[in-house]
Amino acid sequence: MSAPWFLGIDVSNTQTALGVFDGDVLRHHWTLQTDPARTADEYGVLLRSLLERAGCPPIGAVAVASSVPAMLPIVDALCRDVVGCPPLVVGPGVRTGMPILYDKPQEVGADRIVNAIAAYARTHGTTIVVDLSTATIFDFISARGEYVGGVIAPGLGIASDALFERTARLYRVELRRPKHVIGRNTVHAIQSGLVYGYVALVDGIVERMQQEAGEQARVLATGTYAELVAPESDTIDEVDPFLTLKGLRLLYERNKEKG
């Protein structure tokens, strides 16, 4: 008899990612806008529709990582009503299998822990995760599989919005890589500053983290802007857009086995 299908839900500040797994295979994935003003019923209509259109069998387990506290009651009700089971919510009391060396472990975001678990399971060595989402977050995992700490910076989208909102003559542009670093018009100049500026940010922080640790690390990137930044980066080794969802599945398996 095959294991029940699993649903992972990653709630970030701007987007909510959902992924359905058959064993360790990600069969379906979707992205919704994160909106605490929406009710569980509204999200329920969306989720039911997505699952039905994908032809998914009944879901047997759910795990949730959320960086938006206001969304947790909504997601909990959604899981109970649509999936029919309470979710495993990443937080205090959940067995991670990873020592957290942060001064205050409870301050580490759920998505950061889940990313670290998935990344270390992939590399089995010193690893840096670069999550290029609403915020740009760097997480360092030791060769022994310990979550050591990291760096938090504003995200690329936030920088773009701030440039548009805080300047009188600059305007919002599409976030894409220009052909040249030296822009010959305002659009290309802004795109260059944003994209290549964040490439330099990523490479500079990663290099400093490795220098401080005194060892090389495998660097994995994920998040909304990973595919935009990674091709120009000298330090990112690979991109996995589903790293958090995979980490949620691993975390659920660890808690199921030890539960």
Q: Which domains does the chain have, with CATH numbers?
A: 5-89 (3.30.420.40), 105-241 (3.30.420.40)
Tell me what pLDDT residue 145 has: 97
Tell me what pLDDT residue 15 has: 93
Is 111 catalytic? The answer is yes
Beta strands of the chain (E only): which ranges? 5-11, 15-22, 25-33, 59-66, 88-89, 127-132, 135-141, 147-154, 218-222, 238-239
Tell me what pLDDT residue 174 has: 82
Tell me what pLDDT residue 1 has: 47
Mean pLDDT of 138-151: 98
Provide the 3-class DSSP secondary structure of residue 89: strand
> Of 111, 131, 139, 240, which is the active-site residue?
111
**Cβ–Cβ under 8 Å, residues 65 and 11:** yes
Mean pLDDT of 137-161: 95
Beta strands of 76-217 (E only): which ranges? 88-89, 127-132, 135-141, 147-154
Tell me what pLDDT residue 156 has: 93
Q: What is the pLDDT of residues 165-214, one digit of tens each?
A: 877 677 778 889 999 999 999 989 999 999 999 999 999 999 999 999 99
Q: What is the pLDDT of residues 107-118, one digit of tens each?
A: 999 999 999 999
Structure tokens at 203: 């490479």
What is the residue type of 153? A
Mean pLDDT of 16-34: 96
Alpha carbon 86 to its chain's center: 22
Mean pLDDT of 3-19: 93
- Share above pLDDT 90 across residues of the chain, in percent, rounded to a whole number: 86
